[in-house]
Amino acid sequence: MSAHLAGVPVPLEEGTTIMTSELIDVIAGVDTHAETHHVAVIATTGARLGDAQFPTTSQG
């Protein structure tokens, strides 16, 4: 996974959080299924900001 800060791609490890004073518009979506839910977030520029899949269990 990677993020773009000031137009420069920055590789990120899973679970990494980055903070910036720059506000950006994002689009988030959730795809729900019987056994999993998948969430993804992209910037309005199309840059993939992150995604994750969670089981539909009480722990997920």
Residue scoring higher pLDDT (7 or 31): 31
Q: Give a yes or no: residue 53 inside a domain.
A: yes
Query: Residue 16 in contact with residue 35, Cβ under 8 Å?
Result: no
Distance, CA of 27 to CA of 45 (rounded, Å): 10
Residue 10 pLDDT > 90, yes or no?
no
pLDDT at 31: 95
Number of domains comprising the chain: 1
Count the residues in the chain: 60
pLDDT tens profile 22-45: 778 889 999 999 999 999 998 888
Q: Give a yes or no: residue 49 inside a domain.
A: yes
Q: Which domain holds residue 54?
A: 25-60
Distance, CA of 59 to CA of 32 (rounded, Å): 16
Q: Give a yes or no: residue 47 inside a domain.
A: yes
Q: Give a yes or no: residue 38 inside a domain.
A: yes
**What is the value of pTM for the model shown?**
0.59
Q: Give a yes or no: residue 16 inside a domain.
A: no
